[in-house]
Amino acid sequence: MSHTYSNSQKLFERASQVIAGGVNSGIRKMEEPVPLFFSHGKGCRLWDADNNETIDFQAGQGAMLYGHGCEGMATAMYEQALRGTHFAAQTQLEIDVAERLCAMIPGADLVRFNNSATEVVNSAFRLARGHTGKPLILKFEGHYHGWSDEGLVGFGASPEKWGTDEKPASVHPSQGVIPEVLEKFIVVRWNDPEHLRQRVEEFRGQIAAIIFEPVLCNTSCIEPVEGLIETIRELCDRDGMLMIADETITGFRFGPGGAQKHLGFIPDLTILGKAIGGGIPFAALAGRKEFFEKIISGQVIHAGTLNSNPLCLSASKWCLDTLLEKGDSHPGTLIRLGQKLMTGLRELADKHEIPLRPQGPGLVFHAVMLKDGASEGPVHDYRDLTKRNDAPRWAHLRRCLLEEGVRAIERGLWFLGLAHTEKDIEDALARAEIAFARHAKEYQA
Ligand SMILES: Cc1ncc(COP(=O)(O)O)c(C=O)c1O
């Protein structure tokens, strides 16, 4: 089959004349051999500008939980567009969506809407500082909370900038950031409850909130060790810090109640993005009523011209109803299909002597590619991944997979969605067999 990309290549060259770097989100430049241009998608399949057909596990970076080209969503949006796309005022639709969210998410008494999770994270930080009167935010190394000055602290640092194991450095991967922002964050290694306790002790009385991805999906795919979430909850209750669960990826993917229902905890604030809108720009801050007081009173400002525009709300309502209709079957089916894919990939890796170790709960997982001589066993935090993962080797395998019609995320993550079937997984594994054989033959370190 081996796809080629001459049309995407030509479009990328044309785009680069008028779009800075040829892409509109920096990470898209990572795609090899060229950032792809797509013409359409249906279910879990995509067609690019060269008419190559691909089974999609990138899922719009997690937003496309329901698949591509959903007719129900398209109809809802079309009908709403004819009635109006934006009034900068209230509509009944926003109550419909808010009522569904408050019924689905354990930590949601109230919500506020924005258009991206990056904005919601910044709202949550402001609200936490306004509510507690304290200046600092504690976050975990390798957790991604959007691309703003505040959201990206402690993400993607190279080893020489890490700081010690006891005191991870507060660093930012971008230039141009307000330097003082870094002083307002405490960075903590993931999956070490004792280390977390020590860091909280060090800054006790100054911390407004602890933010985390309940299952870390932006650095490998790492579930919390036993006792970690409980420790976060305990420390937040003890010191009056707000517990902020960033469920931008886990929300809805882990079931209608998100990872908080799946893992059994109730945060004070929840960030919802991506699958809340199924591919349209929509995101929400959800939380316990008492923590919204400063937004209600207007002392903490929350605003946005396009917030709660009815076009996005019509799509979100369709997404939430689709999940509710799935009932108890979700996320069980996704977990089962994902585990089947993980097992199949591991078998192919063993057959072709490729050190690939898929890890995660199935409905999302990361294909860890072990470096030569790296130890076995699951990756447990950001530093561990950086030490053991062979990123260039994964990039080569990822390209072989893409050229055989299987699209995973550039950094190694795979998303299962409601449109994937047993047959899609079997097709993907049949294509992966060719890709793995090619990689084993062609790859040179
Ligand atoms: C956990 C998490 N939080 C926040 C964000 C930011 O979302 P957005 O890109 O919609 O602003 C992302 C995006 O990948 C994310 O994965």
Classified as helix, coil or strand, 117 is helix
| 317 shares a domain with 375 | no
Q: How far is the C-alpha of 247 from the C-alpha of 257, rounded, in Å?
A: 10
What is the residue type of 74? A
| 278 shares a domain with 184 | yes
Q: What is the CA(391)–ligand 1 centre distance, in A?
A: 22
Do 260 and 267 meet the contact criterion of CB atoms below 8 Å apart? yes
**Confidence (pLDDT) at 215:** 98
- Domains held by the chain: number: 2
Tell which of 328, 356, 385 closes a domain: 328
Q: What is the CA radius of gyration of the chain?
A: 22
| 181-209: average pLDDT | 98
Closest CA to 183 of 213, 153, 211: 153
Tell which of 266, 296, 328 closes a domain: 328
Q: How far is the C-alpha of 348 from the C-alpha of 432, rounded, in Å?
A: 8
The confidence band for 1, taking pLDDT boundaries of 50, 70 and 90, is low
Q: Which atom of ligand 1 is nearest to the CA of 119?
A: 11
For 162, the domain range is 71-328
The confidence band for 328, taking pLDDT boundaries of 50, 70 and 90, is confident
Tell which of 305, 328, 351 closes a domain: 328
Q: Is 150 in the pocket of ligand 1 (CB under 6 A)?
A: no
| 419 shares a domain with 323 | no
The confidence band for 157, taking pLDDT boundaries of 50, 70 and 90, is confident
| 184 shares a domain with 52 | no
Q: Is 77 in the pocket of ligand 1 (CB under 6 A)?
A: no
**Confidence (pLDDT) at 374:** 97
Taking only the tens place, the pLDDT of each residue in 215-225 is 999 999 999 99
Assess if residue 300 is contained within a domain: yes
Q: Is 273 in the pocket of ligand 1 (CB under 6 A)?
A: yes
Taking only the tens place, the pLDDT of each residue in 375-422 is 999 999 999 999 999 999 999 999 999 999 999 999 999 999 999 999
| 360-376: average pLDDT | 97
What CATH number is given to the structural domain containing 56?
3.90.1150.10
Assess if residue 274 is contained within a domain: yes
- With the C-alpha atoms ordered 263, 215, 213, 196, is the resulting torsion angle positive or negative? positive
**Confidence (pLDDT) at 316:** 98
**Confidence (pLDDT) at 147:** 97
Assess if residue 1 is contained within a domain: no
What tokens does 94 get?
């926003």
Q: How many alpha carbons fall within 13 Å on the CB side of residue 35?
A: 17
| 164 shares a domain with 285 | yes
pTM of the predicted model over 0.95? yes
| 59 shares a domain with 16 | yes
| 38 shares a domain with 79 | no
| 433-442: average pLDDT | 98
Give me the long-range contacts of 332-335 (CB less than 8 A, separation at least 24).
333/418, 334/253, 334/362, 334/363, 334/416, 334/417, 334/418, 334/420, 335/361, 335/362, 335/363
The dihedrals phi and psi of 425, each to the nearest 5 degrees, come to -65, -40
Residue 304 has pLDDT above 80, yes or no: yes
| 162 shares a domain with 296 | yes
**Confidence (pLDDT) at 180:** 97
| 75 shares a domain with 13 | no
Assess if residue 130 is contained within a domain: yes
Do 68 and 41 meet the contact criterion of CB atoms below 8 Å apart? yes
For ligand 1, pick from 254, 269, 274, 306 the residue to mutate: most ligand atoms within 8 Å of CB: 274
